[in-house]
Chains A and B, each alone.
Chain A
Amino acid sequence: NAGVTQTPKFQVLKTGQSMTLQCAQDMNHNSMYWYRQDPGMGLRLIYYSASEGTTDKGEVPNGYNVSRLNKREFSLRLESAAPSQTSVYFCASTLGTGAEAFFGQGTRLTVV
């Protein structure tokens, strides 16, 4: 029972490089989310997909793009990485509004 799977677990990028963080869930959830977690702060929503075929900006979307590839997969892309994007990124999924949220293991990204 995998739940929410994120890849990679760790990544180091140089400023200006691009990369895509992958997320997949096997719980048949409708909604998926990308958050970032910075020291001393609560998780902040970057983008979300309320249902397959839709995506919307969250609290801190600048510098990111997302793709809801199908019901299972939701990817986050950094087109031109900046040091300010050094963070731990979490993908989450829920069956619907008000439902329990399940999180992946996180991706620790460092931009130098």
Chain B
Amino acid sequence: KNQVEQSPQSLIILEGKNCTLQCNYTVSPFSNLRWYKQDTGRGPVSLTIMTFSENTKSNGRYTATLDADTKQSSLHITASQLSDSASYICVVGARGGGYNKLIFGAGTRLAVHP
């Protein structure tokens, strides 16, 4: 069964600190891995998309890594800001079916405190 597991479920950090969120997946056949940011009451917004051949991708203070051998990904946030408070969702795309088949993790809820 295709699954995406994220840890931790929630995290509190102080403004300015770094943090790393984890994602493990069992999705086959693998197509891509995405990280989304979802602010409270809003829809998810894409941060990064990585294919099988990419092992790191950055978007400003966000850096995602992918280890396709161990089926693990991480999202590192550098020098956190209050506006980083949100849920971060790991999403794995599966190949086939003729559409964007996306398997969503439950998300990590991050709170950045001053």
Contact = CB atoms under 8 A, between A and B. Distances in A.
Interface size class of B (residues with CB under 8 A): 20 to 34
A42 B41 contact: no
The winner among B46, B91, B102 for most chain A CB atoms within 10 A is B102
Given A100-B46, A103-B43, A103-B45, A31 B99 contact: yes
Interface stretch (B55-63, B65-73, B103-111): B103-111
B29 interface: no
Contacts of B104: 35, 42-44
Nearest to A42: B104
A45 to B, nearest CB: 7
B43 A56 contact: no
Contacts of B93: 98
Nearest to A108: B41
B43 A50 contact: no
A100 B106 contact: no
Interface string B3-45: 0100000000000000000000000000110100000011111
B75 interface: no
Interface string B70-114: 000000000000000000010101010011111111110000000
A16 B41 CA distance: 26
Interface of A: 4, 31, 33, 35, 40-45, 48, 50, 56, 90, 92, 94, 96-106
Interface of B: 4, 31-32, 34, 41-46, 49, 89, 91, 93, 95, 98-107
8 contacts: A41-B106, A42-B89, A42-B91, A56-B99, A97-B95, A97-B98, A98-B31, A106-B43
